[in-house]
Amino acid sequence: MQFLAAQLGCSVGEFSAAFGRLKPALLGSVSGYSSVLAEFGGRFEQREKIYLFASWPNLEAALQHIVDERKRAHLFCPDPEQGA
């Protein structure tokens, strides 16, 4: 899963509020993906500037969806430098 996050310039880890249970977290600049992360159950933690998820599968599904969409978009908008 760290590989998926790295493709977006982010990382994954665990976060716990004081005396709370550990939750999967996405760290890094992901503001451009906020609506997608929310669709997969991500909740932005304002104070820590991270997205928290209820489970690892939810976080992984969100990351995979974003990576897949970026690849799909790249197929339809190829790098103009490659054609020259």
For 31-65, b/e burial (b = at least 16 CB within 10 A) is eebeeebeebbbeeeeeeebbbbeeeeebbebbeb
Residue 84 scores a pLDDT above 60: no
Amino acid residing at 80: P
Q: How far apart are CA 31 and CA 19, in angstroms?
A: 28
Domain boundaries, the chain: 2-79
Residue 80 scores a pLDDT above 80: no
pLDDT for position 79: 58
Who wins on pLDDT, 59 or 79?
59
Cα dihedral across residues 11, 25, 53, 48: positive or negative: negative
Residue 71 scores a pLDDT above 50: yes
Residues 44-67 have a mean pLDDT of 94
